[in-house]
Structures are given as C-alpha cells and as structure tokens.
Amino acid sequence: MNNWLYILYAILLAIVSIVTGEIVTFVMLGFILISLRNIHSTLKEILAVQKEKG
C-alpha cells in the first residue's frame, strides 16, 4: 500500500473521531487496519515465493 493511502486513512479517521468524540476508538481502528494490511502484504509475498518454488 502506498504511503499516501495511509495518510488518507489517518485523515479520514481523524475527521470522524473529532466529529463523534470517540478519538480512542478510531485510533485503535486505525492501528487494526494498518496491522491487517501489513499481514495481507506479508501473506501475498509468501504466496509469491511459494509459487516461484513450486
């Protein structure tokens, strides 16, 4: 994922959290989304390596 997309997510989460007043909830949601995206990227890399071997 491109760095600008992370920035866009952060801005959107910040706007929603300011409007709703649930800052901690949306910060945690942001961390979860980033973690899931990193896991997805890692799994795609592992799959690509496995396809090259077999």
CB 13 within 8 Å of CB 30: yes
Dihedral over Cα of 14, 8, 27, 25: its sign: positive
pLDDT value, residue 50: 96
Give 3 or 14, the one with higher predicted confidence: 14
Q: What is the pLDDT of residues 26-51, one digit of tens each?
A: 878 878 888 988 999 999 999 999 99
What average pLDDT does the chain have? 86
